[in-house]
Amino acid sequence: MELVRFPTIDDVVLSKKRVLVRVDFNSPIDKDGKIIDDSRIKAHRQTLLTLIDRGAAVVVITHQGRPGDDDFITLEPHAQKLEEVLGAKVKFVSDVIGPAATEAIRNLSEGEVLLLDNVRLVSEELIEAEPEKHAKTYLVRKLSPLFDYFVFDAFATAHRSQPSIVGFPVVLPTLVGYVMKSELEALSKSILSSESPRLFVLGGAKVRDTIKVIEFLTRKRVADRILTTGLVGLTFHVAKGGRSGKSLLKFLEEKGLTTLIPLARRVILSGAPVDTPYDVKVIKEDGSIAEEPINTADGVPVDIGSYTSLMFSEMIREASIVVLRGPAGYVEDPRFRSGTLDILKAALESNAYVIIGGGHLGSMLSEVGVRREKRLHVSTGGGALLIALSGETLPALKALEISYKKFFAGGSS
């Protein structure tokens, strides 16, 4: 599993080169079309500033939302936000592959930045296919002759096999930006590191995907211990044969998770080192909140209990590597955030190398009150991270491999 050997933007001379950069600016949008959270735009700041400083003509391509959704909008607001983030002029064109776009690309000078409009305005971008097929799409054939290099920096899209992600590497020498480089290094650390104990804390609502992750971690003997929370923890509690009240079983049935219990049980029988919650917070029929042992809990489960938080936190503090993915409870309600915050705090207070799977966990870091910069990686793509941890090859990595062998392995670039 070679994750970090791909050429980066530090490995080639980029002065006076025309570079197409695939980033992920897909951001939360309010009803007025304004960007609510610009963290994904800020994440690419170092990559883009480095390309500018090294004299490249930089063209940025990305998506926002999906056709038919409320957040499927033009990228003009993103261009304005990017100007603020970079402290540099950003040109914008309301086009992707038409005459306006190609003319703007040809007229771009070294050190300048151009943002093309939403790549999903091109219908081909919604199709999943192999890299070689996407290399023949109109999007790739139209734009690729205009560039010297393609830079892939959009890890959050790496699990998609779409033209702007996997098509360009087939026909252009492809480099990875700093976001992608840090994500690959974190993946390598979590899966290949010899440091131990290696502890995974897996929660949230993506139960089927997480079961696949646990199966892979067990088969490859990656994890020394797997702590489960959220819907994942409830499912594995029942799969282990743990006693549970009728309300808990009814809750899992309503969520469509009872069909996954046999699958979770098979993973446990294969030797998965899984721990499940000891107690939970529940909402009673009268609306009151109680904390009860999971074996006798009666009500709708909304968070792990204080004893689970205590025991899991103690194990986290003893680990050398901690990977966290998914919240421990219904964190959208401030009353049910304490379990997740306790786990985050324990990880940040430990001496472990900590990898956080973005999403809710990443957004909650500011609430923990523990500042930490070293030995911490916050992933920009929870979905891509989850798939990578399940042992599947990310389509973007497959495309990077193709480009590496074609343009770099023989020393041609």
Nearest-CA neighbor of 85 among 143, 37, 149?
Answer: 37
Judged against a pLDDT cut of 80, whether residue 277 lies above it is answered with: yes
Tens digit of each residue's pLDDT (9 = 90 or more) over 72-111: 999 999 999 999 999 999 999 999 999 999 999 999 999 9
Element of type H or E holding 377: strand 376-378
Residue 52: its pLDDT value, please? 98
Residue with structure tokens 């046999």? 262
* Cα–Cα distance, 169 to 230 (Å, whole number): 38
Query: Where does residue 221 fall: left (phi above 0), alpha (psi -120 to 50 degrees), or beta otherwise?
Result: left
**pLDDT at residue 310 greater than cutoff 60:** yes
Share of the chain above pLDDT 90, in %: 81
Mean pLDDT score of the chain: 93
- ∠ CA(214), CA(219), CA(220), 5° rounding? 100
Q: What pLDDT score does 409 carry?
A: 85
Tell whether the model's pLDDT for residue 412 goes beyond 90: no
Element (H, E) at 210: helix 207-219
Reply yes or no on whether the pLDDT at 305 is more than 50.
yes
**Quick check: 1 pLDDT over 50?**
no
| Among 186-190, 198-202, 278-282, 301-305, the least confident range | 186-190
**pLDDT on residue 411:** 55
**pTM listed for this prediction:** 0.84
State yes or no: pLDDT of 3 exceeds 60: no
Which residue did the predictor score with more confidence, 55 or 393?
A: 55
* pLDDT value at 174 more than 50: yes
Three-state secondary structure call for residue 198: strand
Nearest partner of 245 among 294, 193, 210, 283, judged by Cα: 294
Domains of the chain: 18-179+393-408 (3.40.50.1260), 193-380 (3.40.50.1260)
Q: Under a CB-based contact definition with an 8 Å cutoff, are residues 18 and 198 in contact? A: no
Give the strand order in the sheet containing 174-176: 90-93, 113-116, 57-61, 18-22, 149-152, 174-176
pLDDT above 60: residue 300: yes
Angstrom distance (rounded) from CA 75 to CA 93: 9
pLDDT surpasses 90 at 323: yes
- Which helix (H) or strand (E) element contains residue 140? helix 138-143
Greater model confidence, 19 or 412: 19
pLDDT at site 413? 53
The tokens describing 386, both together, are: 């989850």
Helix (H) or strand (E) holding 231, with range, is: helix 230-239
Q: What is the DSSP string of 299-343?
A: SEEEEE-HHHHHHHHHHHHT-SEEEEES-SS-TTSGGG-HHHHHH
For the stretch 336-380, pLDDT in tens is 999 999 999 999 999 999 999 877 888 898 899 888 878 899 998
Contact call for residues 140 and 167 (beta carbons, < 8 A): yes
Q: In one letter, which amino acid is 263?
A: L
For the sheet containing 300-304, what is the strand order?
A: 289-293, 279-283, 300-304
Span 117-122, average pLDDT: 98
Three-state SS string over 7-69 comes to CECCCCCCCCCEEEEECCCCCCECCCCCECCCHHHHHCHHHHHHHHHCCCEEEEECCCCCCCC
User: Taking residues 130-143, what's their average pLDDT?
Assistant: 98
- DSSP code for 230: H
Q: What is the pLDDT of residues 32-73, one digit of tens each?
A: 889 998 989 999 999 999 999 999 999 999 999 999 999 999
pLDDT class of 318 with cuts at 50, 70, 90? very high
